[in-house]
């Protein structure tokens, strides 16, 4: 006798939310919901305008030439992207040297970990004394706050390669550069991109801290200037533009990760 349970069709499972709706649609919906909430709060006049301006008043500042938005955006964007790029280059190169020279890693990696514990804001007055005011100091701020996570995470990724595989390549007379280029670096890419995502956020923070302390231009400098007149609409607009710069940098990192790292190897890939 045939079991009726075997003949009955298996119940269809409802699709998971990421399958039913594209992730980008959910992200856009969340941002639009936040914008609608912002508008509702200001329309209901729950708080005075000098504390929370309306979206219309905030975006209206873009048409005011007195703020010189484009000049400040270019300055801050240059500080963020240049400092971030320098942190990637020097962080990966130094991690590569640590993977080649174990004595160097044993001596200097703990030192860099110790230095990374210093609050970067506390270095502001010293950097002003050493480098003065200007874009160079702010680039260094973005660099130093991004450099340490990239260095430490990349160094860890380069050590995650199986020792047996390294011994095999060395037995086949592989050079250090060949081992790094063919085995260690591809294996460390998921770690590098994970650190780069964190660094994209920190680079924005570093540039703004630098502009708060040592700058005469940039979005951070503009926020300090309009603060004295309680121009919160301009302050909100500066924060939004900073967020857009960070989102742009983060999107570039995500795009490169999709090109260079397979999905299953990404550290933040969701299990299927």
List the pLDDT tens digit at each of the 272 positions of the chain.
Answer: 444 444 445 455 544 545 545 777 887 888 888 888 888 888 888 888 778 888 888 899 999 888 899 999 999 999 999 999 999 999 999 988 888 888 888 888 888 888 888 887 777 777 777 877 778 888 988 998 999 989 988 888 888 776 666 667 777 777 777 777 777 788 888 888 988 999 998 999 888 888 888 778 889 889 988 888 888 899 999 999 999 999 999 999 989 988 887 776 666 654 33
**According to the model, what pLDDT value does residue 147 have?**
92
Domain that holds residue 173: 68-262
* Assigned token pair, 212: 């708060």
Split into its structural domains, the chain has a count of 1
On whether residue 27 sits in a domain, the answer given is no
On whether residue 152 sits in a domain, the answer given is yes
204-225 core/surface letters (b: 16 or more CB in 10 A; e: else): bbbbbbbbbbbbebbbbbbbee
On whether residue 244 sits in a domain, the answer given is yes
On whether residue 133 sits in a domain, the answer given is yes
Q: What is the CATH number of the domain that holds 99?
A: 1.10.3720.10
On whether residue 7 sits in a domain, the answer given is no
* Assigned token pair, 79: 């500080």
Q: Is the separation of the CB atoms in 49 and 42 below 8 Å?
A: yes
On whether residue 160 sits in a domain, the answer given is yes
**According to the model, what pLDDT value does residue 267 have?**
67
On whether residue 52 sits in a domain, the answer given is no
**According to the model, what pLDDT value does residue 113 have?**
83
On whether residue 223 sits in a domain, the answer given is yes
69-108 core/surface letters (b: 16 or more CB in 10 A; e: else): beebbebbbbbbbbbbebbbeebbebbbebbeeeeebeee
- What secondary structure, in 3-state letters, does the chain show? CCCHHHHCCCCCCCCCHHHHCCHHHHHHHHHHHHHHHHHHHHHCCCCCCCCCCCHHHHHHHHHCHHHCHHHHHHHHHHHHHHHHHHHHHHHHHHHHHHHHCHHHHHHHHHHHHHHHCCCHHHHHHHHHHHHCCCHHHHHHHHHHHHHHHHHHHHHHHHHCCCHHHHHHHHHCCCCHHHHHHHHHHHHHHHHHHHHHHHHHHHHHHHHHHHHHHCCCCCHHHHHHHHHCCCCHHHHHHHHHHHHHHHHHHHHHHHHHHHHHCCHHHCCCCCCC
Q: What is d(CA 254, CA 272) in angstroms, rounded to the nearest whole number? A: 20
The rounded Cα 98 to chain-centroid distance in angstroms is 24
């Amino acid at each position: 006798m045939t079991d009726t349970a075997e003949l009955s069709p298996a119940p269809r499972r409802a699709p998971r939310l990421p399958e039913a709706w594209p992730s980008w649609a959910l992200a856009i919906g969340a941002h639009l919901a936040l914008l609608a909430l912002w508008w509702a709060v200001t329309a209901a006049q729950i708080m005075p305008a000098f504390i929370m301006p309306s979206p219309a008043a905030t975006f209206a500042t873009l048409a005011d030439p007195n703020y010189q938005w484009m000049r400040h955006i270019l300055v801050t964007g240059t500080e963020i992207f240049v400092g971030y790029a320098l942190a990637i280059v020097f962080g990966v190169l130094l991690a590569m040297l640590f993977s080649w020279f174990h004595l160097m890693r044993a001596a200097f990696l703990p030192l860099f970990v110790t230095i990374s514990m210093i609050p970067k804001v506390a270095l502001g007055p010293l950097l002003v004394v050493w480098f003065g005011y200007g874009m160079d100091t702010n680039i260094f701020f973005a660099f130093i706050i991004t450099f340490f996570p990239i260095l430490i995470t990349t160094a860890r990724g380069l050590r995650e390669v199986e020792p047996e595989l390294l011994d095999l390549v060395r037995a086949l007379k592989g050079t250090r550069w060949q081992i790094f280029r063919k085995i260690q670096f591809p294996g460390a890419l998921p770690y590098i991109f994970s650190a780069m995502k964190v660094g994209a956020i920190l680079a924005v923070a570093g540039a703004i801290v630098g502009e708060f302390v040592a700058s005469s231009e940039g979005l951070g400098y503009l926020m300090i200037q309009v603060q004295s007149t309680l121009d919160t609409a301009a302050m909100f607009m500066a924060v939004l533009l900073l967020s857009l710069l960070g989102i742009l940098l983060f999107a570039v990192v995500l795009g490169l990760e999709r090109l260079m790292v397979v999905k299953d190897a990404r550290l933040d890939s969701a299990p299927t």
